[in-house]
Amino acid sequence: MKKTVLAILGMLLFLHAAVPLRAQAGYAASAALDEYLVKGSLLINIPKFVTFPASALSEKGPFVIGVLGNNPFSDVLEDLARKGRIQGRTVTVRYPKKVSDAGGCHLLYIGVSEGKRVAKILKALRGKSILTVSDVRDFAGRGGMVGLVSENNRVQFEINPEAFRKGGLKAGTQLTKLASRVIPEEGP
């Protein structure tokens, strides 16, 4: 068990700090693919450091990742899901057309195409134990749980512990330590 936790933590550290994006001229498509490979890997790995209430994982079935809005992952997320396990379960990817169709998802990735609707989406999910993740600008600051941020040619993430609490979830200590920013940040 300890080796598994260390392996997962090592993978997160690798993805968080050591995978630069190839953003040089002539590599735009490759850079986008690299970025969403890293982000997809984070979607598979972050939930491993989150405590879900027993009621959210009570049924024996797959861990369901929902992608709301445009799918920037292409086939990358589904490939990662086929190979991954979260909370001891196989992983399935669904594509709800609207937030009301996201029931049954354990994690909901909210695409950038939904940026103008983030407040409404988060309001609709209030009180539900669904881990919310997005790369919409300042997602964690706007009430989402995990915001994916591309900065200095690296993918990083921010977390909002209060949003976790409101959803009945708990971010693990390792996740908090790996976050580039914890919202709200404590003052000096």
pLDDT computed for residue 31 by the predictor: 55
Give how far the C-alpha of residue 123 lies from the chain's centroid of Cα atoms, to the nearest Å: 18
Residue 49 lies in a domain: yes
* The total number of structural domains that make up the chain: 1
Residue 187 lies in a domain: no
Q: Using an 8 Å Cβ cutoff, are 109 and 145 in contact?
A: no
Across the chain, which has 188 residues, the per-10-residue mean pLDDT values are: 45 42 40 80 95 84 94 91 92 96 95 96 95 96 96 91 95 95 70
pLDDT computed for residue 186 by the predictor: 52
- Cα–Cα distance, 136 to 133 (Å, whole number): 9
Residue 47 lies in a domain: yes
Residue 188 lies in a domain: no
pLDDT computed for residue 184 by the predictor: 79
Residue 157 lies in a domain: yes
Residue 112 lies in a domain: yes
Residue 166 lies in a domain: yes
pLDDT computed for residue 5 by the predictor: 43
Residue 134 lies in a domain: yes
What is the span of the domain harbouring residue 42? Answer: 2-182
Closest CA to 134 of 116, 153, 115: 115
pLDDT computed for residue 30 by the predictor: 54
Q: State the amino acid at position 122 in one-letter form.
A: L
Give the containing element (helix H, strand E) for 65. Answer: strand 63-68
Report CA-CA distances (Å) from 81 to 9, 110, 156, 170, 184: 18, 17, 20, 23, 31
Q: Using an 8 Å Cβ cutoff, are 15 and 42 in contact?
A: yes
* CATH number where 95 lies: 3.40.50.2300
pTM of the model: 0.83
